[in-house]
Amino acid sequence: MKFDPTVEELLQPGIHFFTVINAEDCVSGEHSKNPGTPMIKLLLKIENSLLSVWLVSTVSWKIVEFLNAVGLQERIKQGDVATQELIQKSGKCAIAMEYTEKYGEQPKVVKFLPKENNIPAQPKTTLPELNDDIPF
């Protein structure tokens, strides 16, 4: 397997742009709190990294947060979203580091930012100075 040794291994904490490169329907496993719960597994591309995120049907706040981040507010009102319409959607998210016994320190999406926060700031324009000596 070839790899790029110059690519940073872990995302750094902070605000990052993401793009959904894959989305698939799945259910929670037998060892989860609620086995068989419907979920959507998202694969996000963030800078040079890939990060998996699960939208669980019983965790509505996270689904709403994600849909707001990618501009699908109409799906919130409907209470339904098709998995395939999430592919190639993009937005901004907050990344933090999380430590677990099993995996050690790993980056984790801790918040999806609303779409209005994803609009790049417009550069400030300055008006030219008025020259009052110009006759009209």
pLDDT tens-place string over residues 56-84: 999 999 999 999 999 999 999 999 999 99
pLDDT at 39: 97
pLDDT, mean of residues 124-134: 53
pLDDT confidence band for 32 (50 / 70 / 90): confident
Distance in angstroms (rounded) separating the CA atoms of residues 33 and 37 = 9
pLDDT, mean of residues 90-113: 94
Side chain identity at 113, as an amino acid letter? L
pLDDT confidence band for 118 (50 / 70 / 90): low
pLDDT at 120: 47
> What does the block give as tokens for 21?
């490169």
Side chain identity at 127, as an amino acid letter? L
Each domain of the chain, given as residue ranges in start order, spans 14-118
Residues belonging to the chain: 136
Task: Give bridge partners of residue 18 from the DSSP assignment.
Answer: 91
pLDDT, mean of residues 97-119: 87
Place of tokens 């609620």: 34
Contact between 121 and 107 under an 8 Å Cβ cutoff? The reply is no
pLDDT at 6: 61
pLDDT, mean of residues 34-50: 95
Would you give the DSSP letter of residue 13? S
Whether the pLDDT of residue 98 is over 80: the answer is yes
- CA 128 to chain centroid, in Å, comes to 40
pLDDT at 134: 59
Average pLDDT, the chain: 86
Query: Percent of the chain, pLDDT > 70?
Result: 80
Residues 6+ apart with CB under 8 A from 65: 111, 112
